[in-house]
Amino acid sequence: MLRFGSFVTKAGRTSPYFFNAGLFDDGASFDALCGFYAQAIRESGVAFDMLFGPAYKGIPLAAGTAMRLAGEGVNVPFAFNRKEAKDHGEGGTLVGAPLKGKVLILDDVISAGTSVRESVDIIRAHGATPAGVAIALDRMERGQGEDSAVREVGKTYGIPVLAVATLEDLIAYLADDAALANNLAAVQAYRDTYGTHATR
């Protein structure tokens, strides 16, 4: 799920690493990922009534995490959106439970915050309230200003952002793995250039 090399991010930065949640592409690994989301959500103490997964990567995350939460005795509904409205059958752009109450958004990462903004707009348009955002990896990078992109999203919408793992976790992982340690200097240099310690 982690690749090392040279990758251009949505922000136009050249990053020495890339996290691809789409590579959790079998039952066992995806089940484990959704279990980590469920754990992070429960440990956060954030109050929520349902889950929302923005298209496309958020869709399986919302469904899988809802299943893991149900297995732990927390049964909540979930919904997701389509990129394009369906013009037959039930129609519309939303699939799943009606959006109501406090809605927790699930996505893989926050880059420019576009997906979060669209999700918040959808949730509010249906009379519901965004409760927070849960992501797999907080890259701990500056957004538009000096704050991290994650902190900017939190401030803009007045909601908490929960992360399963952070760049600090990644750096510690690289330092402890002899096979990957040669990537450590490049990741640290990238953080020195674009990073911030204030993520919340």
Alpha carbon of residue 163 to chain centroid: 7
pLDDT of residue 102: 98
Of the candidates 10, 83, 86, 102, the residue annotated as catalytic is: 86
- In the predicted model, is pLDDT for residue 70 greater than 90? yes
Architecture of the domain spanning 27-166: 3-Layer(aba) Sandwich (3.40)
The one catalytic residue among 88, 100, 155, 197: 88
- Catalytic, 126? Answer no
**CA-based end-to-end distance of the chain:** 25
Residue 10 annotated among the catalytic residues of the structure: no
Distance CA 119, CA 52 (A): 8
Q: b/e map of 37-62 (b: 16 or more CB within 10 Å)?
A: bbebbeebebebbbbbbbbebbbbbb
Global pTM reads 0.89
Whether 29 shows a pLDDT value over 70: the answer reads yes
Burial class (CB in 10 A: 0-12, 13-18, 19+), 102: middle
Predicted confidence (pLDDT) per residue in 83-100, tens digit: 776 555 455 689 999 999
Distance CA 39, CA 183 (A): 29
Amino acid type, 11 = A
